[in-house]
Amino acid sequence: MVAVVTVYETERLIIREWTADPADLDRMTDIYTREEVTRWLPPFEFDAVRAVEGWRALHERDRRYGSWAVQVRESGLAAGTVLFRPIPGGDGEVEVGWHLHPDSWGNGYATEAARGAVERGFAAGLEEVYALVKPDNEASRAVCRRLGMASLGLTRRFFDLEAEMFRLPREA
């Protein structure tokens, strides 16, 4: 049996490390190979085992950061991923993000998981958190607004893609 590490919990969700358990690997692969999910992400080649290893290593280096499974408490279903990490190629900006399976869209899980990650980051001393969203991803833009994030406009600073950048200061 694979040990499951809980990172934090919310009212309806358990945010935990993804594991090398076949059920987790299958669910991750199902999420990250769907066009309706990947169209909103920078281009990448997905390998579930490497993702689990890399995400676990990130969390072990700095317990504030990681890419974690969003598990629905009531059903046990892994709805997707919430990430909280320094933006690759940035100047120390920390981003919150979410990638949910389409069967879990529309339930408020992205907002709930992201809010928990942001609160955890602020409790650890961060002063601000960012989100990067493709401009036509209205669902994720709405999550940013529900979190209280303000748009900073369009940028191409990260991932060589145009994205709308959102910011949430701690005092908000």
At 123 the three-state DSSP class reads helix
pTM of the model: 0.94
Provide CB contacts within 8 A for 35, sequence distance 6+: none
- Helical packing angle, 109-123 and 138-146, nearest 10°: 50
The domains of the chain are located at 6-169
Rounded to 5°, the CA angle 95-87-5 comes to 65
Note the pLDDT of residue 66: 93
Tens-digit pLDDT profile for residues 43-68: 888 989 999 899 888 888 998 999 99
- Helical packing angle, 22-32 and 48-61, nearest 10°: 100
Tens-digit pLDDT profile for residues 70-101: 999 999 999 999 999 999 889 999 999 999 99
CATH of domain 6-169: 3.40.630.30
Helix, strand, coil content of the chain in percent (nearest 5): 35, 30, 40
Rounded to 5°, the CA angle 86-33-89 comes to 20
